[in-house]
Amino acid sequence: MTNKADILVINTGSSSIKFAIFSDELTEKLKGSAVEIGGASHFSITGLEQAGTKQDVDLPDHRAALSHILNALTSRGIAPAHLRAAAHRVVHGGPHLTAPMALTQDALTKIAACSALAPLHNPHQLGAIRALSDLAPDLPQYASFDTAFHATNSAVARRYAIPDTAETDGILRYGFHGLSYASLCHALPRISGAALPARVLAFHLGNGASICAIRHGKSVATTMGYSPLEGLTMGTRAGSIDANAALKLAQDHGIPRARAILNNESGLLGLSGLTSDMRALIAEGSSASAFAIEHFIYWAIRHAGSMIAAMGGVDAMVFTGGIGEHAAPVRSGIARGFGWLGAQIDDAANAAHRQQLHARASGIGIWIVPAMEERQIASDALTLMGGP
CB atoms within 10 A of CB 316: 22
Q: Tally Cβ neighbours within 10 Å of residue 97.
A: 20
Between β-strands 16-22 and 50-56, what pairing exists: parallel, antiparallel or unpaired? unpaired
User: Of 180, 161, 172, 170, whose CA–CA distance to 219 is shortest?
Assistant: 180
Distance (Å, rounded) from C-alpha 124 to C-alpha 180? 21
Catalytic residue (one of 6, 146, 346, 380): 146
d(CA 204, CA 295): 17
- What are the helix (H) ranges across 242-340? 243-253, 255-264, 267-272, 278-284, 287-311, 321-326, 328-336
Strand 218-222, strand 209-215: pairing: antiparallel
Q: What is the CA radius of gyration of the chain?
A: 21
Residue 146 designated active-site: yes
* Active-site residue set: 146
